Protein backbone atom coordinates (compact mmCIF):
# COMPACT_ATOMS: atom_id res chain seq x y z
CA UNK A 1 0.00 0.00 0.00
CA UNK A 2 1.55 3.33 -1.06
CA UNK A 3 -0.64 5.60 1.07
CA UNK A 4 -1.64 4.21 4.46
CA UNK A 5 -2.67 7.61 5.79
CA UNK A 6 -4.08 10.85 4.39
CA UNK A 7 -3.29 14.01 6.37
CA UNK A 8 -5.81 16.76 5.66
CA UNK A 9 -5.22 20.42 6.23
CA UNK A 10 -8.39 21.93 7.72
CA UNK A 11 -8.93 25.61 6.75
CA UNK A 12 -9.48 25.79 2.99
CA UNK A 13 -9.51 22.00 2.46
CA UNK A 14 -12.09 20.39 4.74
CA UNK A 15 -14.04 23.62 5.15
CA UNK A 16 -14.17 27.19 3.84
CA UNK A 17 -12.98 28.83 7.05
CA UNK A 18 -10.14 30.37 4.99
CA UNK A 19 -12.76 32.94 3.88
CA UNK A 20 -13.53 33.75 7.52
CA UNK A 21 -9.81 34.22 8.26
CA UNK A 22 -9.58 36.56 5.26
CA UNK A 23 -12.57 38.64 6.34
CA UNK A 24 -11.40 38.92 9.97
CA UNK A 25 -7.85 39.97 8.94
CA UNK A 26 -9.35 42.53 6.56
CA UNK A 27 -11.17 44.18 9.52
CA UNK A 28 -7.93 44.25 11.51
CA UNK A 29 -5.90 45.67 8.62
CA UNK A 30 -8.54 48.38 8.11
CA UNK A 31 -8.46 49.27 11.81
CA UNK A 32 -4.65 49.52 11.77
CA UNK A 33 -4.73 51.37 8.45
CA UNK A 34 -2.46 49.00 6.55
CA UNK A 35 -2.99 47.71 3.00
CA UNK A 36 -4.33 44.15 2.74
CA UNK A 37 -5.35 42.15 -0.31
CA UNK A 38 -5.82 38.62 -1.65
CA UNK A 39 -2.11 38.16 -2.42
CA UNK A 40 -1.15 39.05 1.14
CA UNK A 41 -3.97 36.84 2.42
CA UNK A 42 -2.61 33.89 0.43
CA UNK A 43 0.69 34.27 2.30
CA UNK A 44 -1.21 33.79 5.59
CA UNK A 45 -2.55 30.36 4.65
CA UNK A 46 -1.10 27.72 6.96
CA UNK A 47 0.80 30.32 8.97
CA UNK A 48 0.15 30.86 12.70
CA UNK A 49 -1.98 33.77 13.92
CA UNK A 50 1.03 35.61 15.33
CA UNK A 51 3.15 35.21 12.19
CA UNK A 52 0.16 36.27 10.09
CA UNK A 53 -0.03 39.60 11.92
CA UNK A 54 3.71 40.11 11.39
CA UNK A 55 3.24 39.56 7.62
CA UNK A 56 0.35 42.08 7.54
CA UNK A 57 2.49 44.61 9.42
CA UNK A 58 5.57 44.20 7.16
CA UNK A 59 4.93 47.48 5.34
CA UNK A 60 3.57 49.33 8.39
CA UNK A 61 5.27 52.02 10.40
CA UNK A 62 5.60 52.94 13.19
CA UNK A 63 6.12 49.41 14.55
CA UNK A 64 3.50 48.11 16.98
CA UNK A 65 4.57 47.14 20.50
CA UNK A 66 3.82 43.71 21.98
CA UNK A 67 0.70 44.92 23.87
CA UNK A 68 -0.76 46.44 20.70
CA UNK A 69 -0.04 43.23 18.76
CA UNK A 70 -1.70 41.20 21.49
CA UNK A 71 -4.79 43.43 21.27
CA UNK A 72 -5.10 42.87 17.50
CA UNK A 73 -4.45 39.12 17.77
CA UNK A 74 -7.23 38.77 20.33
CA UNK A 75 -9.57 40.96 18.33
CA UNK A 76 -8.90 38.99 15.13
CA UNK A 77 -9.64 35.73 16.92
CA UNK A 78 -12.84 37.14 18.46
CA UNK A 79 -14.06 38.26 15.02
CA UNK A 80 -13.12 34.89 13.53
CA UNK A 81 -14.77 32.93 16.36
CA UNK A 82 -17.90 35.02 15.83
CA UNK A 83 -18.06 33.84 12.22
CA UNK A 84 -17.43 30.22 13.20
CA UNK A 85 -20.61 30.24 15.30
CA UNK A 86 -22.72 30.06 12.12
CA UNK A 87 -21.07 26.79 11.07
CA UNK A 88 -22.94 23.49 11.27
CA UNK A 89 -22.65 19.99 9.78
CA UNK A 90 -24.48 21.42 6.72
CA UNK A 91 -21.24 23.33 5.93
CA UNK A 92 -19.37 20.10 5.33
CA UNK A 93 -19.57 19.54 1.58
CA UNK A 94 -20.93 16.24 0.30
CA UNK A 95 -17.77 15.84 -1.85
CA UNK A 96 -15.44 16.17 1.12
CA UNK A 97 -17.49 13.77 3.24
CA UNK A 98 -17.85 11.23 0.43
CA UNK A 99 -14.12 11.36 -0.35
CA UNK A 100 -13.15 10.83 3.28
CA UNK A 101 -15.74 8.06 3.78
CA UNK A 102 -14.46 6.20 0.71
CA UNK A 103 -10.85 6.42 1.89
CA UNK A 104 -11.82 5.26 5.37
CA UNK A 105 -13.75 2.31 3.97
CA UNK A 106 -10.52 1.16 2.30
CA UNK A 107 -8.80 0.97 5.69
CA UNK A 108 -6.80 4.16 5.14
CA UNK A 109 -6.16 6.26 8.25
CA UNK A 110 -7.24 9.90 8.21
CA UNK A 111 -5.75 12.74 10.21
CA UNK A 112 -5.93 16.51 10.49
CA UNK A 113 -2.71 18.52 10.15
CA UNK A 114 -3.59 22.15 10.85
CA UNK A 115 -1.73 25.17 12.27
CA UNK A 116 -4.97 26.39 13.85
CA UNK A 117 -5.63 26.54 17.57
CA UNK A 118 -9.35 26.54 16.69
CA UNK A 119 -9.25 23.18 14.89
CA UNK A 120 -11.07 21.14 17.56
CA UNK A 121 -14.04 23.51 17.94
CA UNK A 122 -14.35 23.70 14.12
CA UNK A 123 -14.38 19.90 13.81
CA UNK A 124 -17.05 19.77 16.52
CA UNK A 125 -19.25 22.26 14.70
CA UNK A 126 -18.94 20.27 11.50
CA UNK A 127 -19.95 17.10 13.35
CA UNK A 128 -16.45 15.62 12.84
CA UNK A 129 -15.19 15.63 16.44
CA UNK A 130 -14.79 11.84 16.50
CA UNK A 131 -14.22 11.26 12.79
CA UNK A 132 -10.43 11.40 12.38
CA UNK A 133 -7.97 8.81 13.63
CA UNK A 134 -5.71 11.65 14.82
CA UNK A 135 -5.72 15.42 15.09
CA UNK A 136 -2.49 17.41 15.02
CA UNK A 137 -3.08 21.15 15.28
CA UNK A 138 -1.85 24.50 16.55
CA UNK A 139 -2.18 23.34 20.16
CA UNK A 140 0.46 20.60 19.86
CA UNK A 141 3.18 22.32 17.84
CA UNK A 142 5.79 24.95 18.53
CA UNK A 143 6.53 25.85 14.88
CA UNK A 144 3.81 26.34 12.26
CA UNK A 145 3.97 25.45 8.54
CA UNK A 146 6.25 25.51 6.51
CA UNK A 147 7.94 23.65 9.36
CA UNK A 148 7.06 19.92 9.05
CA UNK A 149 6.26 19.53 12.78
CA UNK A 150 2.45 19.44 12.47
CA UNK A 151 2.55 16.63 9.88
CA UNK A 152 5.33 14.69 11.61
CA UNK A 153 3.25 14.77 14.81
CA UNK A 154 0.20 13.51 12.88
CA UNK A 155 2.20 10.60 11.46
CA UNK A 156 3.53 9.86 14.95
CA UNK A 157 -0.02 9.87 16.42
CA UNK A 158 -1.13 7.47 13.68
CA UNK A 159 2.06 5.39 13.97
CA UNK A 160 2.46 5.55 10.17
CA UNK A 161 5.89 6.48 8.73
CA UNK A 162 6.02 9.71 6.64
CA UNK A 163 6.75 7.79 3.41
CA UNK A 164 3.25 6.23 3.63
CA UNK A 165 1.49 9.57 4.24
CA UNK A 166 -0.17 11.82 1.67
CA UNK A 167 -0.91 15.43 2.66
CA UNK A 168 -3.78 17.46 1.17
CA UNK A 169 -3.08 21.21 1.28
CA UNK A 170 -4.32 24.57 -0.02
CA UNK A 171 -1.36 26.58 1.36
CA UNK A 172 2.09 27.10 -0.13
CA UNK A 173 3.49 26.90 3.41
CA UNK A 174 1.59 23.64 3.92
CA UNK A 175 2.93 22.05 0.73
CA UNK A 176 6.45 23.05 1.80
CA UNK A 177 5.79 21.54 5.24
CA UNK A 178 4.67 18.24 3.67
CA UNK A 179 7.75 18.10 1.43
CA UNK A 180 10.00 18.92 4.40
CA UNK A 181 8.35 16.01 6.26
CA UNK A 182 9.29 13.78 3.26
CA UNK A 183 5.62 13.15 2.53
CA UNK A 184 3.80 13.20 -0.79
CA UNK A 185 1.44 16.12 -1.25
CA UNK A 186 -1.76 16.85 -3.18
CA UNK A 187 -2.40 20.57 -3.67
CA UNK A 188 -5.92 21.93 -3.64
CA UNK A 189 -7.43 25.38 -4.31
CA UNK A 190 -4.85 28.16 -4.08
CA UNK A 191 -2.16 25.51 -3.51
CA UNK A 192 -2.38 24.34 -7.13
CA UNK A 193 -0.97 27.64 -8.42
CA UNK A 194 2.56 26.94 -7.15
CA UNK A 195 3.30 23.67 -8.98
CA UNK A 196 5.17 22.36 -5.96
CA UNK A 197 3.08 19.34 -5.02
CA UNK A 198 3.10 15.79 -6.40
CA UNK A 199 -0.52 16.15 -7.51
CA UNK A 200 -2.91 19.02 -8.21
CA UNK A 201 -6.57 18.44 -7.29
CA UNK A 202 -9.17 20.32 -9.30
CA UNK A 203 -11.84 18.99 -6.97
CA UNK A 204 -11.47 17.08 -3.73
CA UNK A 205 -12.93 13.86 -5.20
CA UNK A 206 -9.87 13.75 -7.53
CA UNK A 207 -8.05 12.38 -4.51
CA UNK A 208 -9.83 9.02 -4.84
CA UNK A 209 -8.33 7.81 -8.15
CA UNK A 210 -4.88 9.04 -7.04
CA UNK A 211 -4.95 7.09 -3.78
CA UNK A 212 -6.96 4.05 -4.81
CA UNK A 213 -5.02 3.38 -8.06
CA UNK A 214 -1.71 3.45 -6.16
CA UNK A 215 -2.88 1.24 -3.32
C1 LIG B 1 -4.32 27.91 9.44
C2 LIG B 1 -4.84 28.99 8.53
O3 LIG B 1 -5.03 26.75 9.23
O4 LIG B 1 -4.45 28.31 10.80
C5 LIG B 1 -4.16 30.30 8.83
O6 LIG B 1 -4.61 28.63 7.18
C7 LIG B 1 -4.34 30.64 10.30
O8 LIG B 1 -4.70 31.31 8.01
C9 LIG B 1 -3.78 29.51 11.15
O10 LIG B 1 -3.64 31.85 10.62
C11 LIG B 1 -3.95 29.76 12.65
O12 LIG B 1 -5.31 29.74 12.95
P13 LIG B 1 -5.96 30.13 14.33
O14 LIG B 1 -7.35 29.57 14.23
O15 LIG B 1 -5.14 29.48 15.41
O16 LIG B 1 -5.92 31.61 14.43
MG1 LIG C 1 -5.34 25.67 4.65
Q: Residue 30 CB: number of other CB atoms within 10 A? A: 11
Full set of structural domains in the chain with CATH: 5-15+91-212 (3.40.50.1000), 18-84 (1.10.150.240)
Indicate if 54 belongs to the active site: no
Residue 21 in contact with ligand 1 by CB distance below 6 A: yes
pLDDT at residue 215 is higher than 90: no
Residue 48 in contact with ligand 1 by CB distance below 6 A: yes
Q: Round to whole Å and give the CA distance between 168 and 176.
A: 12
3-state helix, strand, coil in the chain (%, to 5): 50, 15, 35
pTM of this prediction? 0.97
Ligand sitting nearest the alpha carbon of 74: 1
pLDDT at residue 13 is higher than 90: yes
Q: Mean of the per-residue pLDDT values for the chain?
A: 97
Helices (H) then strands (E): counts for the chain: 9, 6
> In terms of DSSP H, where are the helices of 65-192?
66-84, 94-105, 119-125, 149-158, 172-180
How far does the chain reach from its first CA to its final CA, in angstroms? 5
Instruction: Write the pLDDT tens digit of every residue in 19-78.
Output: 999 999 999 999 999 999 999 999 999 999 999 999 999 989 999 999 999 999 999 999
Ligand 1 pocket mutation pick from 25, 83, 87, 115 by most atoms within 8 angstroms of CB: 115
For the chain, the farthest-separated pair of C-alpha atoms sits apart, in whole angstroms, at 55
Indicate if 9 belongs to the active site: yes
Amino acid sequence: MKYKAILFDLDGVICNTDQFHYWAWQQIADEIGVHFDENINNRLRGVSRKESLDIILESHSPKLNEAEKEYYLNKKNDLYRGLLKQMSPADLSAEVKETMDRLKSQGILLAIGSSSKNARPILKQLGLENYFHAVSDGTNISRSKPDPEVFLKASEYLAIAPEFCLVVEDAKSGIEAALAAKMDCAAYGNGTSYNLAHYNLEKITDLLPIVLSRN
